[in-house]
Amino acid sequence: MSQTHADESLIDSPQAALRLLVTLGLVVLGNSSMYVVSVVLPAVQSEFGIGRADASLPYTLMMVCLGLGGIWTGRLADRHGLTPILWCGALAVFGGFALAANAQSIWLFGLAHGILGLIGSSSTFAPLIADTALWWQKRRGIAVAICACGNYIAGAIWPPLVQHGITTIGWRNTYLLLGLVCGIGMFLLSLKMRAKPPIPKVSVATASTTSDDSARPFGLRPSRAQLLLCTAGVACCVAMAMPQVHIVAYCTDLGYGAARGAEMLSLMLTCGIVSRLVSGLICDRIGGIKTLLLGSVLQGIALLAFLPFDGMVPLYVISATFGLFQGGIVPSYAIIVREHFSPKEVGERVGSVIMATLVGMALGGWLSGWIFDMTGSYKAAFVNGIAWNLLNVSITGWLYLRLKSR
């Protein structure tokens, strides 16, 4: 497929806005599997007769494959454009859901989610965030936030729909129907993404003012700064995964039922949409590192609130608060890389940091289930999440202080 880069004049244009809208739809469809797997977790655990940790493995495998796939699909998109990558992603989404719907063991169920992450969801995550950043200049922060919001919109609309499907037609038929809707939808929207992004010209003056900072981000060697950001990404998302992956199972254990848990997850991620948009606006004003530090501190406060309160109404309130506090964390990493590293390395470095956050989500989802199996309670799992969140705050705070001292 022959493609040429769009003209530079289209940056920040109405065409860029239309492309952003299509991108949002692709992210909503392609990332559906990230959240519905937690909704079917109790049903899968019961049907296969396995423990909570084993039932969490498909989510873990999917998130690891999503992180690895993001780097792979991003490189392919740079060479061949987004459209063929999105076509492969659409096929993988349909095939992954169909394979999971017919799985007769937890291992085949996990393999299906690995396919969903490696090729399906990955085609609509890191490559689309990188693509969006190239189509916007003045409002890059809010544009990237809108793109990332598709992930939470998926989490807001798919869990209650899937929970309804589980109670009416069963989880297997629900998975098959979801694969058809998302796969066909992705293919149709991909036809609107044929143009390659514009390549803005960088003036000599601009290059000279940024060369020193990009050579020593935060006053560190780039490799060390990258490692610290990746470690922070793992830490914040281990903490983030605890409520997102296990809130449905937690509510089931408390006797409130899976439906209430699915509603809390939907509320959490709906509030995350608001958080990402607001964080995007904040990021355009105060920069990425301050936005990340703010979000991390607030996420820790929300996690602490889960410890003393387990009533149904308090859990609804805490779930909404958690969504409002943590939604802007992951997009902040992309902005930090764009602000402090060489523009020539942004694509690769953004992919690596996003992979680290997904590894954190994968580890957090499995680790919380393992701690539950060991202790018989989610209280220790919440404490574990808080400890990882403190690690993120420590790294982010140290980087901010180094930046402030310079």
pLDDT of 202 strictly over 60: no
Adjacent-strand bridge partners of 5: 196
pLDDT of 3 > 60? The answer is no
For residue range 230-253, list pLDDT tens digits in order: 999 999 999 998 888 888 889 988
Provide the phi-psi class of 376: left if phi over 0, else alpha when psi is between -120 and 50, else beta.
Answer: left
Measured at the CA of 78, the angle between CA 228 and CA 20, to 5 degrees, comes to 85
Give percent of the chain with pLDDT exceeding 90. 38
Cα Rg of the chain, angstroms: 20
Per-residue confidence band for 205, with pLDDT thresholds at 50, 70 and 90: very low
What residue ranges in 193-236 does DSSP mark as E strands?
none
Cβ atoms of 27 and 150 closer than 8 Å? yes
209 — pLDDT class (breaks 50, 70, 90): very low
Q: Are 116 and 93 in contact (CB under 8 A)?
A: yes
pLDDT of residue 37: 84
Q: Which tokens is 105 given?
A: 């063991």
Q: What is the mean pLDDT of the chain?
A: 86
Is the alpha carbon torsion for 256, 259, 265, 268 positive or negative?
Answer: negative
Paired tokens of 329: 């964390």
Residue corresponding to tokens 């999971």 = 100
pLDDT at position 94: 96
Residue 107 pLDDT > 80, yes or no? yes
Confidence band, pLDDT 50/70/90 cuts, at residue 206: very low
pLDDT at 306: 93
Which whole number is the average pLDDT over 170-182? 95
The least confident of 14-28, 56-70, 84-98 is: 56-70
Greatest Cα pair distance in the chain:
64
pLDDT in tens, 114-137: 999 888 998 998 788 878 877 887
Cα distance between residue 92 and residue 87, in whole Å: 9
Q: 132 vs 152, which has greater pLDDT?
A: 132
- pLDDT band, residue 214 (cuts 50/70/90): low
Q: At a CB cut-off of 8 Å and minimum separation 6, what does 123 contact?
A: 30, 69, 73, 85, 86, 88, 89, 92
pLDDT of residue 232: 95
Instruction: Give the model's pLDDT for residue 213.
Output: 60
Instruction: pLDDT band for 212, please (50, 70, 90 cuts).
Output: very low
Helix (H, G, I), strand (E, B) or coil at 370: helix
The pLDDT of residue 60 is 78
Among all chains, which residue has been given the structure tokens 């509030």? 271
B/e letters for 280-306, b = 16+ CB within 10 Å, e = fewer, are: bebbbeebbbbbbbbbbebbbebbebb
pLDDT interval class at 380 (50, 70, 90)? very high
Residues 64, 366: Cα–Cα separation, whole Å: 11
The per-residue pLDDT for 344 is 64
Which three-class secondary structure state does DSSP give residue 377?
coil
Tokens of 140: 């890059």
Q: Is the pLDDT of residue 78 over 90?
A: no
* Residue that wins the pLDDT comparison between 34 and 89: 89
The pLDDT assigned to 200 comes to: 59
pLDDT digits (tens, 9 = 90+) for 268-302: 888 888 888 898 889 888 888 999 999 999 999 99
Confidence of residue 169 (pLDDT cuts 50, 70, 90): very high
Q: How far apart are alpha carbons 343 and 401 in whole angstroms?
A: 23
Confidence of residue 22 (pLDDT cuts 50, 70, 90): very high
At 304 the pLDDT is 95
Mean pLDDT in residue range 168-191? 95
* The pLDDT of residue 57 is above 50: yes
Please report where in the chains the tokens 């793109």 appear, as a residue: 147
Highest mean pLDDT: which range of 76-85, 91-100, 196-205: 91-100
Asked if residues 1 and 195 have their Cβ atoms less than 8 Å apart, the reply is no
Which pairs with CB-CB distance under 8 Å and at least 24 residues apart come from 218-226? 218/340, 218/399, 218/402, 218/403, 218/406, 219/402, 219/403, 219/406, 220/402, 222/341, 222/342, 222/345, 225/340, 225/341, 225/399, 226/341, 226/349, 226/352, 226/353
Coil vs helix vs strand at 398: helix
Residue 186 CA neighbour count, 13 Å, CB half: 34
In the chain the first and final C-alpha atoms are separated, in Å, by 48
- Confidence class of residue 340 from pLDDT cuts 50, 70 and 90? confident
The sign of the CA dihedral 204, 206, 209, 213 is: negative
Quick one: CATH architecture of 8-199+220-405? Up-down Bundle (1.20)
**Closest among 148, 402, 398, 397 to 297, alpha carbons compared:** 397
State the CB neighbour count (10 A cutoff) for residue 379: 14
Identify the pLDDT of residue 2: 46
Provide the 10 A C-beta neighbour count for residue 406. 9
3-state secondary structure at position 313? helix
Taking phi over 0 as left and psi of -120 to 50 as alpha, with beta for the rest, 12 belongs to left
pLDDT at 164: 92
Task: Give the model's pLDDT for residue 1.
Answer: 45
